[in-house]
Structure 1
Amino acid sequence: MKKAMGLTCSFILTSTLLLPNLANASAPKQILFSGGSLHKPGIYKMNEDTTAVTRITDGVSVDASPDGKKLAFIKNDSLYISDIDGKHQVRLTKSRFPVYDSSPRWSPDGKKIVFSRSDGNIYSIDKNGKNLTNLTNTDETVINSEPDWSPDGSKIVFHSNRNGNSHIFVMNADGSSVKQLTGNKQSSEYSAHFSPDGRKILYGRSIKADSDIYIMNADGKNPRNLTKDIQEAAASPLWSDDGKKIVFTLNEPRITDHGYLLIMNADGSGKATIKLPINFVNPYDWNQLETTQSASKQSSGIKATINYLSDFLFD
């Protein structure tokens, strides 16, 4: 039996695997991630071989913009954006604990950011900080979280407990036409992401002590377990840019000094492990940083996104 994901870690960590831009083959491969202690979490970059770790700025829950030039992240409970190197930071929201923001996601056109708030609702905001909009408008007993965009920007997928356990829902980008896609009374679903072609949805699913990665059609039909051959708890899945690969986290049943990412084919085959020099890995964005001015505007390497089930501070 798999061990369910625990909420007792002392680190919050997000991760971005950066592949070199095809237009600039000499650009170094890097990983962008956020993590560290609860008292001073930060956003970092390091080489793919896990050397040369550099702190970019304070913050958590980071997402790179579609063109690889900007970051969206949470700092001091609020949503910020900055240049990819952490400079020229702009605060877009004015949340203060006990109200705080989480799970920011850039829209495919780079004009908006959707995010969760501790009041249980999902919001969108223009990248200039204007037009803050509550998309879910549910009461405080309901939690809507982990929003992510469809490839064409017309839909937002998220998880919500509005009908019992946490299940996957989809709505129009303006918050209308909410539709429930999963609904097993014994399970909870989270971390949902459209495939790059918009035809599939990848998500995490927990049933009692088991935690696995599932895939289903975009209409919620034909769910399939991709990690039933793994004993540890699998969670936080995300797509490669071409939809051929999936990366996810592995929660070992013991505390170690390392975190692990696993990569597999979209059908669940060909699993391979990446060991990182920091524990409790929760990837948010698998993307390409722009490292030179000659790099192409649109990332040509592998790109995908993830929001971890719990963006809350752990004890």
Structure 2
Amino acid sequence: MSLLRNSEKCVEVPHHVTGFWRPIYTGDPLTTGSIGAGLIISPYTKTCLHDTDEKLKVLINNSILEHTTLKTALEKLLEHNKEIMGTILVNEPLPVRVGYATSSTITLSTLLALKEKLGLPSTSLAQIAHVAEVINKTGLGDVLSIYSGYGLTVRTKPGAPGIGEVISVRVPASISIITCALGVMSTQAMLTSYGAYLEKIGEEIFNKFIEEIELSNFLRLAKEFSTRIGFLNDELNKQITSICKNCLGFYAKKKVLTILVEDAYTTEIVEKILKTKLCVMGVHVHYPVNTNKFTES
């Protein structure tokens, strides 16, 4: 049950760092998507709706909306609602256009914050978010993973929530997920540059993984995928291997380097990564999100 205070409605949505995937296009945005696997992680994108008498205004990290995917989603909502009143404040704690699925978290959290005002089911809003992602080529499976999964989430059937299907496996709470933003790469640029490789290699890796769905196999195959695609080059692989004697595994997705360690080694690995000066947007420490429940306040 949501709690409304001072005409404010807030929704929090976790992030998603996928390890490998195979794009699947059907000609219909609702059924287009991807199969693959990734981690649902903290922190959360927090989005709050403030009731006002003015037409809907969206601020992302205190800046006026400049988010194509969210604009597309809101335009679709306005097809059925002539006017939406209020101010949306989005707090996105992670860098954008890197690989944290921020396009999905911003769009999904905004639509869910409008749920009571619109009177639409959560799944319908999540489907609109997915369609907007597909149309703008900003994501294929992130909305499905975030909305329907937790922990290690496996997308077994492509499509929007309610159409696509996932299997989720809890990730031990004693594990820390360390990420490092190496630069910027849009999903659109990635899909354009690596499309054929993603389909071929993604399907091969997914078929290997589905035979043994567990974290250690995920980490092994995510590293193989990111190496073969080119996200994890030889130099980067050597650098991280040299400092990762106590790591459970690591991989790269777009421009996000992702390392899993037992909590006891978190500080040690963070300090070593910082010394490499690889991270252009800082080092982030996350925990696995092992529940499929959006936090509302």
Q: Tell me the TM-score normalized by structure 2.
A: 0.33
Q: Return the structure number with greater helix share.
A: 2
Greater relative contact order: 1 or 2 (C-alpha under 8 angstroms, separation 6 or more)? 2
Q: Tell me the TM-score normalized by structure 1.
A: 0.31
Q: Return the structure number with greater strand share.
A: 1
